[in-house]
Structure 1
Amino acid sequence: MLRTSRLLKTSTVLKYQRGNSLALRVIKPRFATSIPNLPKSINYSGKLTFNEAILRRSSKNNDSGKHVPEQKKKDNDSGENKGEEENDDIIPEQDHETKKSDETISKIANGDSMPPSSASSSGNGNNPGDSHSNSNENELPEIYPKMLALPISRRPLFPGFYKAVVISNPSVMAAIKEMLDRQQPYVGAFMLKDSELDTDLITNQDQVHDVGVLAQITSAFPSKDEKTGKETMTALLYPHKRIKIDELFSPNDNEKEMPKIEDIKVEKITQDEIEEDVNPTEFLDQFDVSLVNVSNLNDEPFDRKSPIINALTAEILKVFKEISQLNTMFREQIATFSASIQSATTNIFEEPARLADFAAAVSAGEEEELQDILKSLNIEQRLEKSLLVLKKELMNAELQNKISKDVETKIQKRQREYYLMEQLKGIKRELGIDDGRDKLIETYKKRIEKLELPEVVQKIFDEEILKLSTLETSMSEFGVIRNYLDWLTTLPWGITSKEQYSAAKAKNILDQDHYGMKDAKDRILEFIAVGKLLGKVDGKIICFVGPPGVGKTSIGKSIARALNRRFFRFSVGGMTDVAEIKGHRRTYIGALPGRVVQALKKCQTQNPLILIDEIDKIGHGGIHGDPSAALLEVLDPEQNNNFLDNYIDIPIDLSKVLFVCTANTLDTIPRPLLDRMEVIELTGYVADEKVKIAEQYLIPQAKKTAGLENANVDITEEAIVSLMKHYCRESGVRNLKKHIEKIYRKAALKVLERITPKEETQEIIKEDATSTNPSATNEETDIQIEKTNENAEAMVVPDEIKVVVDNQHLKDYVGSPIYTTDRLYETTPPGVVMGLAWTNMGGCSLYVESVLEQPLSNCEHPTLERTGQLGDVMKESSRLAYSFAKMYLAKHYPENRFFEKASIHLHCPEGATPKDGPSAGVTMATSFLSLALNKSIEPTVAMTGELTLTGKVLRIGGLREKAVAAKRSGAKTIIFPKENVSDWEELPENVKEGLEALPADWYDDVFERLFSDVGTIKGNNVWKPEFEIIDAKQREHEHRSDK
């Protein structure tokens, strides 16, 4: 049923009746009457009145056409003119003194005001005369038209207690402004079920609890949201009584369909009917707001003499007293509430309902608990629930009080210490004995404020600071503690650099700095990928093993840059003192922490990259301990999270440090230490790789170093190849770098000579000759010395000056070639075979030479001589190869009796270089057989492999280095064990290019490839003339013996 709003400019009101007919009635407008009184403490600018029709009608009676009784109307009219005779039950401003509040609380809690014996046995909180609030509630209408509904979040409102709400919806703000302008300030406030929901509209009744309060808007003023800057409105609500939602009208339901004009009919109505039928809140339909029809909820009757209610009331008062002793805010609120109660009644036990509401309103209970209290109409149950919430509040207050006392005790102790220390400082200043110790201590304390010290470190720091403050500066112990605190406060406790998890960026950095090294780069990219997936990076221990000059140390710097970590390097080559790793004890003079702690201090992060260089050359044992054993704790992932330095004497976490070790060989690294590291082998470079490295890295660096970065000075590719062949046959590129730098230095000199005119050069020479001639002057030369940090201006090389270094001019820059041929033998004689060796310097060719010491006819007994600084293993290999060759020759060429008489000398060239290893067995056996069959081996064939006595070829190591050496020596065929085929397949194509691979499982495979043209007859007759002479001499000797 739709009714129109009051018309202000005319005296016509339209009323829609039931059915399709519309009655047009002429009425005389009336103005609204005053609303119930508000406390004087609330400053509200408008006249707080409410339409008289609200106080005189109900929607139910209007539908049936009934009128309010005349007597009741008169009572209400008389009540409207009472004015503000009494204060409402709202809590006024809290301006009472604490002392008066405590006396009031004690008076109430001690039972000074007990329920009067003359009170009625039962009562209702809404009955007239019960309290001041009840009289106010009687002035409110019992039945309401549609009213604005406001959702409240987090806490429900309780009757008699103010609540400020912030409204951001423009439609709701406009509606409230219109309500205040029309002097109709009543709304329904209902708590949202979802506390996270932020809205000013109720679109569904399930969004809110159905029980709320009828609240009066006492004031409203514009405000602004600090976060969003959006215009809002702050409204102060005063709840009067409990209500319940009967029907919800969402914003979309407020649009109504206007009737047709033919359905309108005119009829006369009386003035009383007009007053009854006018709906003063109908203007809210024009706003997109939530409207509700509500009904009152009255408290259930209760017995004022009920011992349970009185006991609950007394218990609540007791809890209030206990809380007030612990919480000042509670004390003030309770005192204010007590004053409000005593102004209306002399006994708190007559107002148990208000006491329960007050307990719920001031407590910090859960949302559901408070809402349950709000909808409880049974006074006894409401008191029980309020008492439960209040007990929780007491527990929180006791806990807060305990925490507060503990904090206060600590603060007082610190304040006392600070006060005494300040007094001590003042006394020392007056006596003139200020030694700067206080400033030193203050400096240490400021340092640790920027650090995250573990609890153990903080405790030790406090102890050392206390010791320092009690010592005189002249004492030796003062200097020891000061040095210790210097180290302790400069270590990066809790400081780490930001990890770099971009694999593409890391790969780009590694490729910029180094060419090749695929295994090392892939391992770092894997390290980054694992860290990205885990969200953290744990420390690792990586060991790069390879010959000198392949970039082991420089790749460590590139890894640090790729991972965005600080870099620190220290070498352990020749280290024999364990204190270099774990530090000295503080009792020694000049004690210092170990290298690891020094690295952390210099890098100022807990996750640097520490490069331990030359770990294969570390000292072993001795009077100062074993450094390699000390490294076990540093490089063990299971132990280094609590590394204990002897000087710091505090566990230090090294688990985030990335350790990179370098070595030339694994043979001298202790096995326990080697097991803790992940080994990555870096092999030597082939010619193609060296050319790329020279063009992309070495030449640009050398030009920049020589000051020719922008000059037309270049080295041709042919010149680089000649450098590698005739000057630098190493596995790495260090020697190649030196020669390139030498070339550019000489080129810089030539460029300077071209730029400087000849006349000027001659004048300079004359001046120098005059200054250096003793007969020219006997006076000392005056040299002007200036102190400056400025460098001379760099010279610009003209573009027309161009220097090109090619093969023809290479000798002028680096001198005569060191190596004139690719191979030691262009044509190998019988008994000479090219073997392959693998040393710390990389792979190299190792020739094995076998010769007869004298003709067979002159040899009486077979002998074997070995030279060339062969190690024990190679000596055994030579004996084994000799026995195998004798057996093999006798098996395939039984008539060849070479080894019966031969005195053989086996030699490995470069006798100054020690040689050892098991992979020369195949080479030595081939050398013996080549000599026995008088067959030369092709000079382009190189071989390696360990041989057993039965002819089995065993697996060897370092195939890549040996293949590189074979290619560098001009070999075209390489023979290696068949078990190394997998290693051969992993070699880069540029290494295998130009090499024919011959895997050998047995020595028969080698013999067939090298001696296939030596048949049985030819092999048997190789030494036949020599043995015929030997046999003839033998027969002649026997004949003489018989005679």
Structure 2
Amino acid sequence: MATLPDTMLVIPLYNKVLLPSVVMKLTMRGRDAIALTRKHRRMSDQRKTTYLACIPLSASPEDKNATLQPSTMTELPDDMKEQQGFVKDEEKDRLYTHGCAARIVRIQRSGLGVFSVFIEGVARFHVEKYIEDTAGLIAKVSYPPAEGKEALEQAKDEIIAFKALVREFTTKMRDLQLPDTLIQQLSKLVDTLSPAVLADLMMSVIETSFDEKLFMLSTMDVKERLAKASEWMARQLHVLKISEQIHSSIEGKLSKKQREFYLRQQLEAIKQELGESDGNSGGKDEDDIGQLGRRLEEADLPKEAATVAQRELKRIKKLQPSSSEWSVLRNYLELMADLPWSKKSEEVLDIPRAKQQLEEDHFGLDHVKKRIIEYLSVIKIKGDLKAPIICFVGPPGVGKTSLGRSIAAALSREFHRVSLGGVRDEADMRGHRRTYVGAMPGLIIQGLRKCGVNNPLFLLDEIDKLVHSTHYGDPAAALLEVLDPEQNNTFSDHYLNVPFDLSNVLFIATANSLDTIPEPLLDRMELIHLNGYTFEEKLHIARSHLLPKQVRAHGLEEGQVTMEDHVLLKMAENYTRESGVRSFERTIAAVVRAKCVELADLRDQGKEDEYIAQVKLDDLESILGIAIFEKEVAERDSVPGVVTGLAYSGSGNGGILFVESTKMPGKGDLQLTGSLGEVIKESAQIALSWVKAHAHELKIAATQQVNIVEHYDVHIHVPGGAVPKDGPSAGVTLVCSLVSLFSGYYVPTTTAMTGEVSLRGQVLPVGGIKEKVISAHRAGIRKIIMPYRNRKDVEADVPDRVKEDIEFVYAKNIWDVLEAALIISDNERWTTRSYESHL
């Protein structure tokens, strides 16, 4: 051994004891760390070793002379345990008289201004005196003589007993399934190290207190040290045996995962004693993986999922935390632990309360409320029920999304909304495969993780806006398994890759139109149609919900903005033209903002008493401007060739459209304009053919052989050329327009019609009756002609208030339509016999 210096720089050890042959890490920062680093660098350049005098520090000066009493070492403050440094003035009196000479193994930078100093104990010493120096406190020390053969011979019995205990300890470590490398290293040390060095090393491996390590440091007699080391080693073995007995007694109760975790915790404690766990983040990672294992155990996974989770957990323990695969596995196991495999919320089946909840949140929608109450009633009687897949279909703003939220509240379920508008990737629904770091589960599994229960209410919003059949896959097709009650109990997400039971989830979808929903997906859902609101319903909604909501939202108190019914009705009729109430709510908000400005101005002037809360009819124009919509149908002049038809848009809105016809010199050509689709163009061809075939009966041709368009071209136009129009419901409107053009008779502007016509004059039924009728009522129509077979739709769907204001005429053939639509004098009216023979 190289000659050890008798003077060394003192490094105080806070609550630690360094023994010879033991490696310890010290964390230092600031000027002390920089000075020590520079000194070590200079010594290394000279091929010399840097030695330090590592001396334990007592909690108080009185404690340093009572090293044999375990109770003398009181707990040090937290700030004295982590950071090391040179001796401070107030610490000189607390230094013990014994220490360990240590050589610096290496110094590495651990962070900003922080250095990790690795030192190895070399030899015990006794402090003779301390010397003040500019570099720090210097200790002049003396070393005990080396253990000679005579001393070892006297301690022969203690050496034999101690080595036997160490070998038994090694065997116990092997039983605890510690790493083979560590076991082999311990076995090798028993045979190669001297008994004194082995005793010092083992005192840092087993559980020993500060005072016991201090005894080992201060005791110079090797026989006495070996005797104490044997005593403490026997104590450690006794603790291990008791732990093994306890473990054996509860082995039937502990799972294999719990036992592995228990053993791993013991391994971590040993590593900490060896100083192997502090120098890296492995200890923290190991602890996190242990916690993850406990969470997986508590998650109560199904058998298949539990098998996969344990297999992946074993894999992650063998990987380095810095590898990308470790991150992927960690995220996957976190998901497995977070998913609610068996956790569900309790449903409160209080049907009267559910009825009250639905009534308070929504006006009308009786058929929807009836369906929900039926669902609740069946669950209450049967006890369980496969959750149906419900799809609300209707125009924007009628309350489809908010209705789903109300249903969740009525069922006492967690609510989660999944926005499907614009989703174009199949992986968004079924997840990405775990082949790269950025892989994620699909929207369904993500939603379940967020809800924390396996029986939430999922609202699949805008399911008709999914992008179909792209090179990313078809997300609508990925929903087939989700929305099939017979299959979704084994739903498999690509990322999760194990079945998850979705049968407890209540799925509610919303859509504006059914045209873009694939037929197989549509077949899996129960459709409930929500139609547009009448003015009476809008009035009630505005009084009960919209106006109070906007008053609160703008910081006003109840009663500071009031509107009478005719004011609200004016806003609904002339400033909004929609099926829902979104624009109506924005218009009300604009009025409330104007009243806020008025109130703020009066407050600034000290004239708040002059504020008038009521909004009058005359105030609307100054607040909202000139009315955007007028009842243009009632105000238009009746013109031959111009007929009002009823339309139904793809978003679920009804509306009116005008069909204009004119003739000009030509050769019998038909010209169609107005962004018309193929179906409506064919209807125009059929209408012209029917009028030409029945021109004599219509009294617009002298004989049956006359071609009424022989010298004319016919032009049919549907205004609003920028808006595409198509559909099979404009046939009767086109026929009436052409008959009106050629006969000179006109159709009143307050009369509208809908229906398709066949080449033989039959009037065929059409869809969207309720939306069309409500939109016609909104526009001021007072008479509607429609197919006879749509009569049941009017009686079932159209509100009574609308039916009171509108006269309905049900036509079986086109002659019934013409009789009801055209204003003809009695002496010119067609007789029934004149056209029945042609039907």
CA contact (8 A) 2:691 2:739 kept: yes
Separation in structure 2 between the aligned mates of residue 412 and residue 530 of structure 1, nearest angstrom: 41
Give the counterpart of 1:625 among 470, 473, 479. Answer: 473
Separation in structure 1 between the aligned mates of residue 505 and residue 255 of structure 2, nearest angstrom: 42
Amino acid paired to 2:617: N
Amino acid paired to 2:730: A
Give the counterpart of 1:654 among 487, 502, 510. Answer: 502
SS across alignment from 1:869: coil
Aligned to 2:679: 873
SS across alignment from 1:660: strand
CA contact (8 A) 2:679 2:728 kept: yes
SS across alignment from 2:458: strand
Aligned to 2:429: 581
Pairing of 1:681-700 with structure 2 (within 5 A):
681-700=529-548
CA contact (8 A) 1:580 1:594 kept: yes
Amino acid paired to 1:922: V
1:628-668 CA distance string (max 9 Å, x none):
11011111111110000111111000011111111111111
Using the TM superposition, give the Cα deviation of residue 947 of structure 1 relative to its aligned residue in structure 2, in angstroms. Answer: 0.3
Separation in structure 2 between the aligned mates of residue 411 and residue 971 of structure 1, nearest angstrom: 78
SS across alignment from 1:647: coil
SS across alignment from 2:515: coil
Q: Is structure 2 residue 667 aligned with structure 1 residue 861?
A: yes
Using the TM superposition, give the Cα deviation of residue 450 of structure 1 relative to its aligned residue in structure 2, in angstroms. Answer: 4.2
Q: Is structure 2 residue 337 aligned with structure 1 residue 489?
A: yes
Give the counterpart of 1:537 among 364, 367, 385. Answer: 385
Pairing of 1:51-450 with structure 2 (within 5 A):
417=260, 420-429=263-272, 430-433=274-277, 434-450=282-298
CA contact (8 A) 2:389 2:483 kept: yes
Aligned to 1:133: none
Aligned to 2:767: 957
SS across alignment from 1:685: coil
Q: 1:819 to 1:1011 in 2, by over 3 A?
A: closer
Amino acid paired to 1:468: I
Aligned to 1:752: 600
Aligned to 1:76: none
Aligned to 1:850: 661
CA contact (8 A) 1:542 1:677 kept: yes
1:434-479 CA distance string (max 9 Å, x none):
4312321332244345433212222222222222222222222221
Separation in structure 1 between the aligned mates of residue 452 and residue 421 of structure 2, nearest angstrom: 25
Q: 1:961 to 1:860 in 2, by over 3 A?
A: closer
Q: Is structure 2 residue 747 aligned with structure 1 residue 903?
A: no
CA contact (8 A) 1:711 1:802 kept: no
Q: Is structure 2 residue 528 aligned with structure 1 residue 680?
A: yes
Using the TM superposition, give the Cα deviation of residue 991 of structure 1 relative to its aligned residue in structure 2, in angstroms. Answer: 2.5
Separation in structure 1 between the aligned mates of residue 683 and residue 255 of structure 2, nearest angstrom: 85
SS across alignment from 2:421: coil
Give the counterpart of 2:439 among 570, 577, 591. Answer: 591
Pairing of 1:777-926 with structure 2 (within 5 A):
801-823=611-633, 826-839=636-649, 840-853=651-664, 859-893=665-699, 894-895=701-702, 898-926=708-736
Separation in structure 2 between the aligned mates of residue 962 and residue 919 of structure 1, nearest angstrom: 11
Separation in structure 2 between the aligned mates of residue 703 and residue 482 of structure 1, nearest angstrom: 50
Q: Is structure 2 residue 753 aligned with structure 1 residue 943?
A: yes
SS across alignment from 2:295: helix
Using the TM superposition, give the Cα deviation of residue 500 of structure 1 relative to its aligned residue in structure 2, in angstroms. Answer: 2.5
Amino acid paired to 1:723: M
1:907-961 CA distance string (max 9 Å, x none):
1111110000010000000000011110011111110001000010111000000
Separation in structure 2 between the aligned mates of residue 409 and residue 605 of structure 1, nearest angstrom: 31
Separation in structure 2 between the aligned mates of residue 533 and residue 921 of structure 1, nearest angstrom: 51
Identity over aligned pairs, percent: 42
Separation in structure 1 between the aligned mates of residue 253 and residue 295 of structure 2, nearest angstrom: 23
Aligned to 1:61: none
Using the TM superposition, give the Cα deviation of residue 721 of structure 1 relative to its aligned residue in structure 2, in angstroms. Answer: 1.2
Amino acid paired to 1:751: L
Separation in structure 1 between the aligned mates of residue 702 and residue 350 of structure 2, nearest angstrom: 72
CA contact (8 A) 1:614 1:662 kept: yes
Amino acid paired to 1:948: S
CA contact (8 A) 1:607 1:658 kept: yes
Using the TM superposition, give the Cα deviation of residue 426 of structure 1 relative to its aligned residue in structure 2, in angstroms. Answer: 2.8
Q: 1:848 to 1:415 in 2, by over 3 A?
A: closer
Which structure 1 segments of 5+ residues have no match?
A: 1-403, 760-797, 854-858, 1021-1043
Separation in structure 2 between the aligned mates of residue 517 and residue 683 of structure 1, nearest angstrom: 9
Paired residues, number = 574
CA contact (8 A) 1:712 1:799 kept: no
Separation in structure 2 between the aligned mates of residue 415 and residue 539 of structure 1, nearest angstrom: 37
Aligned to 2:512: 664
SS across alignment from 2:283: coil
Aligned to 1:381: none
Separation in structure 2 between the aligned mates of residue 525 and residue 651 of structure 1, nearest angstrom: 32
SS across alignment from 1:985: helix
Q: 1:909 to 1:825 in 2, by over 3 A?
A: farther
Q: 1:942 to 1:477 in 2, by over 3 A?
A: same
Using the TM superposition, give the Cα deviation of residue 409 of structure 1 relative to its aligned residue in structure 2, in angstroms. Answer: 7.1
Query: Considering only aligned residues, what root-mean-square deviation do their CA atoms show, in Å?
Result: 2.4
TM-score, normalising length: structure 1 = 0.53
CA contact (8 A) 1:711 1:799 kept: no
Amino acid paired to 1:428: K
SS across alignment from 2:809: strand
CA contact (8 A) 2:757 2:764 kept: yes
Give the counterpart of 1:572 among 408, 415, 420. Answer: 420
Separation in structure 2 between the aligned mates of residue 489 and residue 844 of structure 1, nearest angstrom: 53
CA contact (8 A) 1:730 1:841 kept: no
Q: 1:535 to 1:874 in 2, by over 3 A?
A: same
Separation in structure 2 between the aligned mates of residue 462 and residue 606 of structure 1, nearest angstrom: 22
Separation in structure 1 between the aligned mates of residue 823 and residue 619 of structure 2, nearest angstrom: 47
Q: Is structure 2 residue 807 aligned with structure 1 residue 1000?
A: no
Aligned to 1:462: 310
Separation in structure 2 between the aligned mates of residue 570 and residue 439 of structure 1, nearest angstrom: 36
CA contact (8 A) 2:747 2:823 kept: no
Amino acid paired to 1:918: P
CA contact (8 A) 1:943 1:976 kept: yes
Using the TM superposition, give the Cα deviation of residue 411 of structure 1 relative to its aligned residue in structure 2, in angstroms. Answer: 6.0
CA contact (8 A) 1:492 1:604 kept: yes
CA contact (8 A) 1:852 1:902 kept: yes
Separation in structure 1 between the aligned mates of residue 352 and residue 338 of structure 2, nearest angstrom: 35
Give the counterpart of 1:979 among 789, 794, 803. Answer: 789
CA contact (8 A) 2:634 2:780 kept: no
Q: 1:406 to 1:921 in 2, by over 3 A?
A: farther
CA contact (8 A) 1:836 1:944 kept: yes
Using the TM superposition, give the Cα deviation of residue 408 of structure 1 relative to its aligned residue in structure 2, in angstroms. Answer: 5.5
1:476-507 CA distance string (max 9 Å, x none):
22211111111111111211111132222111
CA contact (8 A) 1:700 1:709 kept: no
Amino acid paired to 1:997: F
Amino acid paired to 2:444: V
Using the TM superposition, give the Cα deviation of residue 415 of structure 1 relative to its aligned residue in structure 2, in angstroms. Answer: 8.9
Separation in structure 2 between the aligned mates of residue 988 and residue 936 of structure 1, nearest angstrom: 30
TM-score, normalising length: structure 2 = 0.66
Q: Is structure 2 residue 457 aligned with structure 1 residue 609?
A: yes
CA contact (8 A) 1:539 1:654 kept: no
CA contact (8 A) 2:763 2:813 kept: yes
Amino acid paired to 1:890: H
1:380-405 CA distance string (max 9 Å, x none):
xxxxxxxxxxxxxxxxxxxxxxxx99
